[in-house]
Amino acid sequence: MEYWEKRFLDGGKIWGTEPSQTAKYALELFKKHGLHKILVPGAGYGRNTKLFSDSNLGVVGIEISESAINIARSFNPKTQFFQGSVLDMPFDDVKYDGIYSCNVLHLLLKDDRILFLKKCYNQLKLNGFAFFAVFSDKEKSFGKGKRIEENTYESKPWRPTHYFTEFDLKEHFKEFTVIETGIIEDHENHGDLGPHSHILRYIFAKKK
């Protein structure tokens, strides 16, 4: 929590005001399947929730960092935020049509990833949809830093990252019906790294 609080206090809108490519693709899928109300765990300062709420979806975000939520309040006032950990979900008793989560699942260690996905499953309506984007094993930083668990490395101090193969991602979603998986390249420009790309893996799945 301290890591993220400091990042948002120092960096503000770290990843800019444009949504992730993964959010643009998720929005296409959500429209195709007629979704109305979505939950966004680990929503940050709202660069992706803004895309969804501007497209007239009802959006609720969950975010651990108070500073990120403070930025979101002016940047994306249409989204309602709960402050807290995704591991403490649910924060309401709503069953959602869909869940979108970008670059959050890979920050958790194995037991917490399973707990988080179980909580997401429980917050979906029957036949609700989940779209998750995560770091893949094709990322440049894969294998760098201290090894914490299988395919999990502390590439930055205090921030373990799990790198997903396609098989591993599908295994994480075995309680769901997997509709599709793939790779999306996301461009960013921040901090010491300057312009760079992330090779993200996504999964689109349905609650059974």
For ligand SAM, give the closer residue by CB, 12 or 127. Answer: 12
Cβ at position 46, least distance to ligand SAM in Å? 8
When asked if residue 53 is in the footprint of ligand SAM (CB under 6 A), the reply is no
> Looking at 65, 76, 151, 152, which residue binds ligand SAM (CB under 6 A)?
65
When asked if residue 35 is in the footprint of ligand SAM (CB under 6 A), the reply is no
When asked if residue 15 is in the footprint of ligand SAM (CB under 6 A), the reply is yes
> Looking at 102, 120, 124, 134, which residue binds ligand SAM (CB under 6 A)?
102
> Looking at 26, 39, 57, 64, which residue binds ligand SAM (CB under 6 A)?
64
Number of residues engaging ligand SAM in binding (CB under 6 A): 20
For residues 203 and 120, the answer to whether their CB atoms sit within 8 Å is no
For residues 71 and 11, the answer to whether their CB atoms sit within 8 Å is no
Cβ at position 8, least distance to ligand SAM in Å? 7
When asked if residue 85 is in the footprint of ligand SAM (CB under 6 A), the reply is yes
Cβ at position 4, least distance to ligand SAM in Å? 3
For residues 188 and 151, the answer to whether their CB atoms sit within 8 Å is no
Residue where the block lists tokens 């992330």:
198
Cα–Cα distance for residue pair 2/111, rounded to 1 Å: 21
Cα–Cα distance for residue pair 22/142, rounded to 1 Å: 20
What length is written for the chain? 208
**Residue 3 in tokens:** 């890591």
Cα–Cα distance for residue pair 7/67, rounded to 1 Å: 9
When asked if residue 114 is in the footprint of ligand SAM (CB under 6 A), the reply is no
For residues 67 and 88, the answer to whether their CB atoms sit within 8 Å is no
Binding site for ligand SAM (CB under 6 A): 4, 15, 20, 42-44, 47-48, 62-65, 68, 85-87, 102-104, 107
